[in-house]
A and B are shown apart, each in its own frame.
Chain A
Amino acid sequence: MFEVRDVHVAYGAVTALRGISLEVREGEIVCLLGANGAGKSTTLRTVSGLLHPLQGEIVLDGQPIHRLPAEAIARRGISHVPEGRRVFPGLTVRENLVLGASNRRPFRRDDVEADMARMFKIFPDLERLKHALGWTLSGGQQQMLAIARGLMARPKILLMDEPSLGLAPILVQEVFRVVKEINNAGTTILLVEQNATMALAVSHRGYVMETGRIVLQGTAKDLLRNPQVRDAYLGGGKAN
């Protein structure tokens, strides 16, 4: 569905990606694992057009998109749920959701209302809070809103950056249930996540990044069994 080919990205003098290549096929959940600073978020930001590669290309359905501005990429069906739940603090939950649909052409009120009703079905908390301002939501509710807003764009591909960050364990499980559900409904997902166990449990395939390169790739099952991956990313309680 889309492919990243030998992409290099730098922030000023600091090189963040040193030639990464990866592929996401239709209907898949693909996860990116790696330490802080490995370049996972940078990869997502590059795919969604917030950053532009110095070298290499990104191809969506056979067409290069790496020179397009972010809003053009969003219109082609790639929706980015950024890290840290960037909801609009001064707008209500409803307004946040409507903004998520703002790339639609034509923009039909009925469609948007119907999609919003679907979101409220997936995230019942949000319905109760639909007139609440973004900043008054708790961390978990903001995360739900950010995901729902991303889905309002009816994306073909959803890029999710650390959806479980700062969430209570019960909500982490809930978020991954939702990720699976969205995927079952036909959305392709590229996921960045520190909680590798949970991420691999829902993913089809995964890539492991280190200092701007991809060092390992495979199916989620293979990665779960891989001793290197186990030591570095799945440790947790069992490591001790």
Chain B
Amino acid sequence: MTSHDENLQKTPARTWLKPGHLALTLGAVVVVLLPLLFTSRYTTNLLILGASWGIATLGLVVVLGYAGQISLAQAAFYGIGAYAVALGTTRWDVNWWLALILGLAGAAIAGAVLGTTTLKLGGHYLAMVTICFQIIYTLINTNWIAVTGGPDGISNIKRPPFLVPLNTAQRYAWFALATLCLVGGLVWWLRDTPLGRAMRAIRENELAAEALGVDTRRVKVIAFVLSAVVAALGGAIYASGYLYISPDSFNFDHAVAFLAMALVGGSESPLGAILGATLLTFLPEWLRDLKRIYLVVYGCAIILVIVFMPEGLWGYVRLAGRRFARKLTLPSAVRTLQVGGRGTAGEEILRVEQLAKHFGGVKAVDGVNFSVRRGEVHALIGPNGSGKTTIINLLSGLYVPTTGYMAFLGRDIVGLRPSRIAHIGMARSFQNLRLFRELTVWENVLVGAQREESREAETRQRALAAIEFAGLSDKVQEICRNLPYGHQKLVELARALAGEPDLLLLDEPGAGLNQTEKQELVRLLRRLNEMGLTILIVEHDMSLVSQVASTATVLNFGKKIAEGTAAEVLRHPAVVEAYLGNREVALGV
């Protein structure tokens, strides 16, 4: 349940009990109480430390939890913030807040550099690069003595000027905890903004996100930048809390500790991150009595949590609280789906000339020409391996053609990124479903509906219209992974339609459906076509093709072997020989 979803409810009953408000109230109470309950110098310092680590971990929620990009350089950004405040208030003698802003800017630049260099990396490669980044940072931090003070660190750091002087540890603990709550709230709010949704879509399926119009490169860099800025803020809070810093507090060990906090708490939730940071701040202190074996126990505790609670402590809490979750009710759509664009029927909207794609020596597509006119359903058929899916991938920008020309709505689309092509008005489905599996049906369709230039309200209207068209209104809250195959196919269709495209590319929409389901698909496609949508369909079920398609292009070995109306093509001798085999059996007549 999220803040935005609640805006859609017609009757927001008992407003004061919304989870968001509850969390805010609870947060405020905790912030006020904690420094009053724990008054010893030692525990107050631990509170400050926990708050600053919690903030750094919240940065990981953005980059790891939302965007799914592992980062083991979080301690470096934390250090950048800490050193900015330390140097600013001691050596350069500038205002604390100005020093903070410099630190955040520095972290943002470093985050952008790291994000940009890792764009094409994932998994263990990404982990390696971020580790290298972290190690380089530590080396500079330790060895560039003229600036950083080297291993001796910097002392006499000042506290920020504030409404009240933050001259006691207790007051500063309040300040640190309030900052933690504020950042936690912002990260929580980010989750359901278009940006947060785009990040989570990338985490679930980067290729599909890009094909739906999410500029994955930009969003990933933003995720790294935000995460770096948040970590730097944590570092600044830490530096002014302890008044002394040294490079030991910002090394690789701490980067791993931040990752552990995020994983133990639950990396997808800000509350989980705070929970994880709290636990891993206080646990070692509680275990100190165990003396020598305390690190062993500490390590084992982390392993146990990660093995038995893969979604972290917060995942456990959420599972327990599942029965309190309320049903999301969406209003009915105020307008119908507007697909197909506004051009005149019959005009050429897609033109492909001498298109070729070679993979090494294999000519998957070898000089194909065809065009698609507005308002038609154009079938692309041919034997397996004849290049149909490759053409869909070329058109949607996932592959760059070896040679050839492609124009969509009069614009040259060769070399454009998939997200740009999606924005011009082309949507697609995938042969093997590529849903955002851990997101709800509603969120999946919202990602398909969102466009940079449009407001959230318009995005919602488009998504609602698509949901209603596909008949998924009663399933909006379901996690896609849990839906049966047939419904997942419908979600993919609704998601593609939500962008209100001019042209829809469908890659084997009928595969895995039985005859009844195929007839429903036929009806759906015919309705879409009547609404003005142009469709390019790849499909092996010839009975389905002959029911929906008006024209067809037949491929074999990457070359066009026939084209014409669907009926003509299915009688063509070369098509029968290469593709249909026994024509009667193939057409089901």
Contact = CB atoms under 8 A, between A and B. Distances in A.
Interface residues on B, range: 35 or more
Interface stretch (A58-66, A138-146, A214-222): A138-146
A173 interface: yes
A205 to B, nearest CB: 19
Contacts of A21: none
Contacts of A194: 512-515
Nearest to B580: A169
Interface stretch (B74-82, B255-263, B379-387): B379-387
Interface stretch (A46-54, A89-97, A160-168): A160-168
Interface stretch (A68-76, A101-109, A151-159, A230-238): A230-238
Given A170-B580, A235-B519, A239-B519, A36 B384 contact: no
Interface stretch (B138-146, B289-297, B540-548): B540-548
Contact of A169 (B512, B516, B585): B585
A1 interface: no
Interface string B545-589: 011000000000000000000000000000000111110011111
A136 B359 CA distance: 10
Contact of B385 (A33, A141, A240): A141
Given A194-B512, A239-B515, A239-B519, A173 B585 contact: yes
A165 B512 contact: yes
A179 to B, nearest CB: 15
A233 B579 contact: no
Contact of B382 (A168, A172, A173): A168
Nearest to B488: A36
Contact of B512 (A139, A162, A168): A162
A124 interface: no
Nearest to B508: A166
A231 B486 CA distance: 19
A171 to B, nearest CB: 6
A240 B547 contact: yes
A166 B539 CA distance: 8
Nearest to B589: A237
B578 A170 contact: yes
Interface string B476-487: 000000101110
A189 B58 CA distance: 55
B517 interface: yes
Nearest to B484: A37
A234 B515 contact: yes
Contacts of A235: 515-516, 518-519
Q: Most B CB atoms within 10 A — which of A33, A138, A236? A: A236
Interface residues of A, number: 38
B509 to A, nearest CB: 11
A140 B543 contact: no
A166 B519 contact: no
B382 A35 contact: no
A173 B582 contact: yes
Interface string B505-538: 0001001111111110000000000000000000
A44 interface: no
B431 interface: yes
A169 B581 contact: yes
Nearest to A138: B385
Contact of B383 (A33, A171, A238): A171
A29 B586 CA distance: 22
A30 interface: no
Contacts of B587: 237
Interface of B: 362, 382-385, 431-432, 482, 484-486, 508, 511-519, 540, 542-543, 546-547, 578-582, 585-589
Return the 8 tightest CB-CB contacts between A and B, nearest first: A138-B385, A140-B384, A169-B586, A170-B581, A236-B588, A37-B484, A36-B486, A235-B515
